[in-house]
Structures are given as C-alpha cells and as structure tokens.
C-alpha cells in the first residue's frame, strides 16, 4: 500500500495553460460541493487544513494541484500530483456558474496527459443524482479509470453499508469493484482508497 510522506501545494489553475508542467502522474478528485472532498484530501495527506474544508461551498472554481511524495512497495521515493477539481451542484450560484464546472473538468480530462485516475465522491446517503451521473459518465466516456467513493459512511448504520454500496453501484451502472464506502470521521475505506491510488500511480 502507498504511504504518503509529504505534500506541498503547487498552484491553482482555471485555464489549461495555467496547469503546472509535471513529469509525474495526476490522481484527481471530484464531487459535489459539501460531499466531503476537502476532508478526504486532508485525511489522505494527514493534514488538518491543506485542502480547505469550506464553509461557503461552491465558491472556488479552481483546479488545485498538490505534489505528493510517497513510498510504494517498489519505490521508496515516488511522486504523484493530487488534483482537487472544482466542486459542483451548489444551488446558490448563477446558471452560467453552475455549468462552468463541467467545462473545467472536461478541459482537464481532455488535455492533461498526466491524468491516470479520478476519485469521484458521492454521498452514501443519497440516491444517485443527476450531476453525479454526469460526472461518472464523463469519466466513462473519456476512458479515465475511476473509483467512486461513497462518503460520510459513518452516517448510516454499519450493518447497512454493504447493501447501500451495492444499491448505489446499480443506480450508477458501475461495477461493485469500482465503488467503496468512505468516512473521514471514522476512517472507513482509507486502505481501499490508498490501494486503488497505488494501482493508478505505478
């Protein structure tokens, strides 16, 4: 399993030409505003606030790049870029702003040759929603390897997690091996996530 040793913020970008050049691969994270993306990134990086846990969701429409130093089973000094994509689906923004995430993510998908995989976060409690479906279909269409992480798994009874994950996989028409339960609060799914990330960074 991958072990994160260090992380540094590189830069935020809006346009393709602003992306940092890199000889390392990207692992990206996407999800609706408030789904728990910043919390997940902070959990992975073991930092309290490297990715801001926002009180005003939907405000920042930026692609944030972090350079991660890690140890893998085969390499003691490996690197990859963790990319925090703009959150979507926040109600209190203009229509134009509402769809800007789609273009930003599609620009990133189509132009970033370093991209090796994307973690798509959904809330485990909510039945498949339109924006999540759009996001998952974008990854499928662009043939980008994805892992769906169903967040806030601590909010449902432990005994219901397995069946709920199965239900979400059916709703999203994905394989059961492509979805995990996750909680930043209770550390559910942390190992599964890191194992998948290692498989994408090798």
Ligand X SMILES: Nc1nc2c(ncn2[C@@H]2O[C@H](COP(=O)(O)OP(=O)(O)O)[C@@H](O)[C@H]2O)c(=O)[nH]1
Smallest separation, CB 21 to ligand X (Å): 26
Distance in angstroms (rounded) separating the CA atoms of residues 31 and 114: 20
Smallest separation, CB 32 to Mg ion (Å): 10
Pick 54 or 72: Cβ nearer Mg ion: 54
- In the complex, the residues that contact ligand X under the rule CB under 6 A are 31, 33-39, 53-54, 57, 87, 151-152, 154-155, 183-185
CB 123 within 8 A of CB 87: no
CB 32 within 8 A of CB 128: no
Pick 78 or 122: Cβ nearer ligand X: 122
Pick 78 or 146: Cβ nearer ligand X: 146
Distance in angstroms (rounded) separating the CA atoms of residues 192 and 123: 17
- The one of ligand X, Mg ion, none whose footprint includes residue 33, by CB under 5 to 8 A per kind, is ligand X
Smallest separation, CB 134 to ligand X (Å): 17
- In the complex, the residues that contact Mg ion under the rule CB under 5 A are 38, 54
Cite the beta strand spans of the chain per DSSP E: 3-13, 26-31, 63-71, 78-84, 115-123, 146-151, 179-181
Alpha-carbon separation of residue 148 from 69, 129, 162 (angstroms): 24, 14, 14
Smallest separation, CB 23 to ligand X (Å): 28
Geometric angle at alpha carbon 40, from 37 and 44, rounded to 5°? 140
Smallest separation, CB 151 to ligand X (Å): 6
Pick 24 or 90: Cβ nearer ligand X: 90
Pick 87 or 117: Cβ nearer ligand X: 87
CB 114 within 8 A of CB 81: yes
């Amino acid at each position: 399993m991958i072990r994160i040793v260090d992380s540094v913020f590189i830069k935020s970008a809006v346009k393709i030409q602003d992306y940092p050049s890199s000889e390392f691969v990207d692992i990206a994270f996407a999800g609706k505003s408030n789904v728990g993306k910043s919390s997940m990134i902070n959990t992975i990086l073991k930092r309290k606030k490297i990715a801001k846990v926002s009180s005003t969701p939907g405000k920042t429409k930026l692609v944030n790049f972090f350079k991660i130093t890690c140890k893998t089973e085969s390499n003691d000094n490996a690197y990859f870029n963790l990319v925090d994509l703009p959150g979507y689906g926040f109600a209190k923004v203009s229509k134009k702003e509402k769809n800007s995430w789609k273009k930003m993510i599609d620009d990133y998908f189509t132009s970033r040759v370093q991209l090796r995989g994307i973690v798509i976060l959904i809330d485990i409690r909510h039945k498949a929603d339109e924006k999540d479906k759009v996001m998952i279909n974008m990854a499928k269409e662009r043939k980008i390897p994805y892992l769906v992480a169903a967040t806030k798994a601590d909010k449902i009874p432990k005994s219901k997690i397995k069946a709920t994950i199965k239900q979400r996989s059916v709703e999203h028409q994905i394989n059961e091996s492509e979805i995990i339960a996750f909680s930043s609060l209770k550390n559910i799914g942390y190992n599964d996530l890191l194992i998948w990330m290692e498989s994408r960074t090798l």
